[in-house]
Structure 1
């Protein structure tokens, strides 16, 4: 089952029909507890249980439950997506255990979808939430953060604290798996979007270089990708080296973009199969439909191109 998703908004809803939560900069998961075991599934329904052994203790809390939440890695009290990214693809139990010991994650639970075999999806959010709170899931490795009635104040507070933003939820909303719902609204502070990589250019040094200088990115539309621009910032050092090793295996002869790529961007570009999803920070879209001052944050190993909204970037 895929989790229900929030719709971006520029207006924070007010009134007693809405409650508001902190938006965590982490990895969305469903935690399925049954028969004395706990399994974690990503947004793409991939089993990622082995990557987070520090969360297995959830199985001892209750005999049967299905939780929706976000796995976060804290750095100086602030969630760090970059710190979490190295955990996405870990499939070796020994390496996962070492990472968990050195830098354990925390599961922020915010919804309850099943309890003791009873399906709660069609119950209103307020009922599911009150039941979740009564479970009293509180430990260093998992917790249920509070909700707030004043969305505007929470939005301001999270901005001051350097958090990602807020999510606003209609108290009468049911849970529809896989739906990007108008009854869940997200208001991030940073302009972070998920994009698909369609090509790469070498570093411009005046000489021939095999080092990664920039990637060309877009979002899915009919016939390919809609071009959103070239991203070079954030690719220096290990981040660029790691991405380059993935891109080399994906080279193709034709552009995957369905819209025009400017000649100056296409020159020297190696096109790749559009299968890698990355997060990019920017100042939104400029007049030509290009990302303004984009910066690479990291690959989203928990997403596929099908999970990327064709309207990302603000268009």
Structure 2
């Protein structure tokens, strides 16, 4: 396949610290397309980590972290910044990776990571209670030079040469020639999210979704815009029964994709209800077919500004089957939310 080549956003900004104009030039990461893994010799396979994507920019003795939507998140992860500056201080680099939090068994936990990702300045107690890891799997610039036009293998060689092999900042392995089904089984056995297959000759395209990278999740997840809520009963009476979920269709219209009423802790329900009470709206965002919003009662609409992370069994076109709430995402904007796979 002949990839489009546009690497203009793969360079370090000219000014440091970043001015607002430079911050807008921070690249968005390259994205994968969902699909079955190609069992072919010209593909590499990596594990898929259940966390938050991060672009790392190091210049001189300073390293900073940016989310997928280019929001600076440096302050939320001072432990990672300390490790990065200690190892990479003095080098001009731009790297791509995933921030994860792990359960005692070692499996990545997005729910656990929520305790860190929404805190702008975590204290020592929280950092100790919820340690995080940064797994780096790509390099965009090296010594200030754009390397996004190099092949996957060449970029991985450069990344490996940085010798990032000690927690909390590490370079995870990749496999060439290993059967994809065996790697999927290994991912499932270790509580991982799935695998990502990458063409050995693929170049890096900031901000683009490419068929050169194919993600194969074990559990289906999607982002959804929170459009409203329905009243709860029993212990959920003071908060809500379910959240009304929406996504943008092919024409850019916000449409109903189902409701979610499970997966919430009591504390999460209280916190979410407080957020919902701050953003009420009187007008409906879209029509609701009778019986499709879970519990009986009148829907309470809110401004569509919150994005949730949802796990589900399948999307039928009529709605999400067996959805479960995983948490709010502050690294995604409502405009980015498309229809579930």
TM-score, shorter chain, exceeding 0.5? yes
**What secondary structure is seen at the aligned counterpart in 1 of 2:40?**
coil
Q: Is the 8 A contact 1:224 1:256 kept in 2?
A: no
Q: CA RMSD in A?
A: 1.7
The equivalent of 1:44 in structure 2 is: 69
Q: Is the 8 A contact 1:106 1:140 kept in 2?
A: yes
Q: Is the 8 A contact 1:88 1:302 kept in 2?
A: no
Q: Is the 8 A contact 2:116 2:130 kept in 1?
A: no
Which shifted more, 227-236 or 41-50? 227-236
Inter-partner Cα distance in structure 2 for 1:27 and 1:169: 19
Picking from 4, 7, 14, the partner of 2:33 is: 7
Q: Is the 8 A contact 1:53 1:97 kept in 2?
A: no
The superposition leaves residues 46-77 of structure 1 with CA deviations (integer Å, 9 ceiling, x where unpaired) of: 10001001112212323111110000101121
Inter-partner Cα distance in structure 2 for 1:236 and 1:114: 42
**What secondary structure is seen at the aligned counterpart in 1 of 2:321?**
coil
How do residues 1-315 of structure 1 correspond to structure 2 at under 5 angstroms?
1-9=27-35, 11-56=36-81, 57-62=83-88, 63-75=91-103, 76-92=105-121, 95-149=122-176, 150=178, 151-205=180-234, 209-221=237-249, 222=251, 224-257=253-286, 260-265=287-292, 267-286=297-316, 289-308=318-337, 310-312=338-340, 314=341
Question: Shift of the alpha carbon at 1:96?
Answer: 4.1
Which shifted more, 154-163 or 32-41? 154-163
Q: Is the 8 A contact 1:212 1:235 kept in 2?
A: no
Which shifted more, 234-243 or 179-188? 234-243
**What secondary structure is seen at the aligned counterpart in 2 of 1:61?**
helix
**What secondary structure is seen at the aligned counterpart in 1 of 2:79?**
helix
Question: Shift of the alpha carbon at 1:244?
Answer: 1.2
Q: Is the 8 A contact 1:51 1:96 kept in 2?
A: no
**What secondary structure is seen at the aligned counterpart in 2 of 1:128?**
helix
The superposition leaves residues 72-126 of structure 1 with CA deviations (integer Å, 9 ceiling, x where unpaired) of: 101121011011012122223xx34432222211100000111111111111111
**What secondary structure is seen at the aligned counterpart in 2 of 1:78?**
coil
The superposition leaves residues 228-281 of structure 1 with CA deviations (integer Å, 9 ceiling, x where unpaired) of: 111101134112112111111111112223xx4222346411111111111111
Inter-partner Cα distance in structure 1 for 2:112 and 2:166: 21
Inter-partner Cα distance in structure 2 for 1:27 and 1:126: 24
How high is the TM-score relative to the length of structure 1?
A: 0.92
**What secondary structure is seen at the aligned counterpart in 1 of 2:188?**
helix
5+ residue gaps, structure 1, are: none
Q: Is the 8 A contact 1:27 1:42 kept in 2?
A: yes
**What secondary structure is seen at the aligned counterpart in 1 of 2:315?**
coil
Query: Structure 1 stretches (4+) deviating beyond 4 angstroms?
Result: none
How high is the TM-score relative to the length of structure 2?
A: 0.85
Question: Shift of the alpha carbon at 1:146?
Answer: 0.5
**What secondary structure is seen at the aligned counterpart in 2 of 1:247?**
helix
Change over 3 Å in CA distance of 1:128–1:22 after alignment to 2: same
